[in-house]
Structure 1
Amino acid sequence: MSPQMTQPSSGQSILEPVAPVIHNVFEPKTGTWQYIVADPTTAKAVIIDPVLDYDACTQNITSTSADALLALVEKQNYQVEMILETHAHADHLTSSSYLQKRLSSRQGYKPPIGIGKRIEQVQNLFGPRYGLAREEWTGVFDRLFDDDEVFTVGQLSIKAMHLPGHTPDHLGYLIGDNVFCGDSLFHADLGSARCDFPGGDALNLFQSGRKLLSLDDHVKIWPGHDYPPAGREPTAWMTVADQRQQNKHLRDQVTQDEFVKMRMERDEGLNAPKLLHQSLQINIRAGRLPKVEESGHRLLRLPLNLNGLDW
């Protein structure tokens, strides 16, 4: 496909925006939407929020989900220019580092892993909490995006939107008439994400939601997760207009005070994500595995809940 040309008054030709090709791949165990977004004119692409498979019962890590993304990239003959994280996930392990290594050998080019610049706040909090050496998380991300930073992949223009609330480092990626919003908004029947993690904030989450819903009505919002109720299939996107009318937490009629009250009360009754500690220890390392201990094992640290007991 050739890019369309327009002729401005200066007489110089410029390229019109190109609509991206979007592949949405659902990982059902953690309810995660993974995305490959490509420029159809150059076949250059990004991968957003990829999953590394992990079984908490057996401690087995496998790469089935990540390998499926690699197979799709190869089938479409894409050149992956970047791997993007919306935030440090607390409910699944990222396969960014795994994909980076595999893509480097295939493409002869190491695609950088990008995330918002406030990831350092999250790393500085959770690294010491889990007893990790500073070198294990320092400098592991290749690109730290500023708020509203714009960068290009092929002929696609991508804007990093700061969307705090769920986590302080949270970004969305605006690509054409699409925004990949991570865990800011979900399907309208689910509403919004929790904001009770350290650095989370209900007021910030409301403001981030309103920021998303101030985009043009036709813009598609692609969430980071879906947990469909019985009778509904996983849904990858809804328009801004539909979210404004239907989102159970953030439709137009909901006030700021109502949202903050609802979100705080709701979060108080939620259990911690099942993979909270495992996910954070891997994800603040950009998906790199723990170092090999003297025993020959790679270890994760899990805190015990003693429920008031002590001896």
Structure 2
Amino acid sequence: MKNIVRFSPSNGANSPDVWGIYEADTGSIQYVVADPATKQAALIDVVQNFDPRSARTSFSSADQVLELVQQNNLKVQWVLDTHPHADHMMASAYLKEKTGAPNAIGKKVQDIAELWSTFYNLPNTFAPAEDFDYLFSEGDTFKIGELDVQVWLSPGHTLGSITYVVGDAAFVHDTFMYPDSGTSRADFPGGSAKDLWESLQRILSLPDETRLFVGHDYGKDGRDPQWEATVKQHKLENIHLAGKVSEAQYRQQRDERDATLALPDRMLHALQVNLRAGKLPELEADGASYFKIPANKF
């Protein structure tokens, strides 16, 4: 079955066309961001499908994204991720191979790689600078066609998460959820509710009409999946932030909520793949890849 696709059109000058493609297995939203004038596009946080029961990977979601690109006569200029995802595998290396476009992520992925190499007991295994063409730092800029893109470091969910601000659109990954669901967890290794609060406040400093595109939605109370809301909507309606919520109040509710959450069922498989830009571990003598899963560490 095809993933749900929803289109958010450009609002004029320096405003991108945005397609959100919802991947139901993990509640993830994948994005195609395009310059209407040049048809140049970036792909953001595209999913590599994974069945944790059989440890089988596939690329049906990524292929749907590429099909959408073709249908809209777009040219892929960038393959982007916002962070090494804990709940799904990224399709970065696959999309780079298919499109010829460079892939990129935040520079602090190197610190995340060092952290997780200890959990996996895999020293000197992850080399993000080799697997990604660009490692963006806070304040870096680049273009999608004629559109300017700003890179913001937005830690909290991970220590190296980044936001892409493209005109009146911002791709805010695992910071905000849809307003009725609040904000994202901050309890993974390297995460911080304090850092997340600061990232959220910075994003809320964008103009009220800015479209915020989140990384996940789980159809709260049975509603249809939603992933786009404006800064103004979040200020007025976000259940974790609306009103006069103080930093201390926010951090307390975030920490209390996080203490009740289980690890994502794909996390220990996914991170060792995502720290390789979506490539499986090196083939062994029998021609197969094998995951290394730490026991009793979490």
TM range (shorter): over 0.9
Q: Based on CA coordinates, which of the two structures has the bigger radius of gyration? A: 1
Query: Which consecutive residues of structure 1, in runs of 5 or more, have no partner in the other structure?
Result: 1-15, 104-109
Q: Which range is displaced more, 122-131 or 81-90?
A: 122-131
Deviation at 1:294, TM superposition (A): 1.4
Q: Deviation string for 1:258-302 (max 9, x for gaps)?
A: 011111111112111111111101001111121111132200111
Deviation at 1:136, TM superposition (A): 4.4
AA matched with 1:114 = A
In structure 2, the CA distance between the partners of 1:80 and 1:303, relative to structure 1 (3 Å rule), is same
TM-score in terms of structure 2 length: 0.92
Counterpart contact for 1:47–1:80, Cα < 8 Å: yes
Q: Deviation string for 1:13-49 (max 9, x for gaps)?
A: xxx9432111110001000000000111111100000
Match of 1:90 in 2: 86
Match of 2:6 in 1: none
Match of 1:57 in 2: 53
Counterpart contact for 2:93–2:278, Cα < 8 Å: yes
Q: Deviation string for 1:154-184 (max 9, x for gaps)?
A: 1111111111111010111111111000000
Counterpart contact for 1:189–1:246, Cα < 8 Å: yes
Match of 2:261 in 1: 270
SS at match of 1:99: helix
Q: Deviation string for 1:89-121 (max 9, x for gaps)?
A: 000000111111111xxxxxx211111111100
Counterpart contact for 2:177–2:227, Cα < 8 Å: no
In structure 2, the CA distance between the partners of 1:170 and 1:147, relative to structure 1 (3 Å rule), is same
In structure 2, the CA distance between the partners of 1:237 and 1:268, relative to structure 1 (3 Å rule), is same
Match of 2:105 in 1: 115
AA matched with 2:70 = E
2:153 aligns with one of 141, 145, 162:
162
In structure 2, the CA distance between the partners of 1:35 and 1:101, relative to structure 1 (3 Å rule), is same
Counterparts of 2:40 and 2:256, CA distance in 1: 44
Counterparts of 1:231 and 1:238, CA distance in 2: 18
Match of 2:200 in 1: 209
1:44 aligns with one of 40, 45, 48:
40
Q: Deviation string for 1:123-176 (max 9, x for gaps)?
A: 111134324463543421111111021111211111111111110101111111
Counterpart contact for 2:141–2:148, Cα < 8 Å: yes
AA matched with 1:183 = D
Match of 2:134 in 1: 143
Deviation at 1:54, TM superposition (A): 0.3
Counterpart contact for 1:115–1:144, Cα < 8 Å: yes
Match of 1:134 in 2: 124
TM-score in terms of structure 1 length: 0.88
Counterparts of 1:207 and 1:252, CA distance in 2: 17
AA matched with 1:167 = T
Q: Deviation string for 1:217-238 (max 9, x for gaps)?
A: 1111100010112341111200
Query: Which consecutive residues of structure 2, in runs of 5 or more, have no partner in the other structure?
Result: 1-11
Q: Which range is displaced more, 42-51 or 223-232?
A: 223-232
Misfit runs of 4+, over 6 Å: none
SS at match of 1:230: helix
AA matched with 2:250 = F
Deviation at 1:306, TM superposition (A): 8.9
**For the aligned residues, what is the CA RMSD?**
1.6
2:96 aligns with one of 84, 96, 100:
100
AA matched with 2:269 = Q
Deviation at 1:240, TM superposition (A): 0.6
Q: Deviation string for 1:181-220 (max 9, x for gaps)?
A: 0000001111111111111111110111111111111111
Deviation at 1:75, TM superposition (A): 1.3
| 2:62 corresponds to 1:71 | no
Counterpart contact for 1:89–1:279, Cα < 8 Å: yes
Counterpart contact for 1:127–1:137, Cα < 8 Å: no
In structure 2, the CA distance between the partners of 1:306 and 1:44, relative to structure 1 (3 Å rule), is closer
Counterparts of 1:17 and 1:169, CA distance in 2: 31
Deviation at 1:305, TM superposition (A): 3.0
2:21 aligns with one of 21, 25, 39:
25
Counterparts of 1:228 and 1:192, CA distance in 2: 14
How many residues of Structure 1 are paired with residues of Structure 2 in the alignment? 286
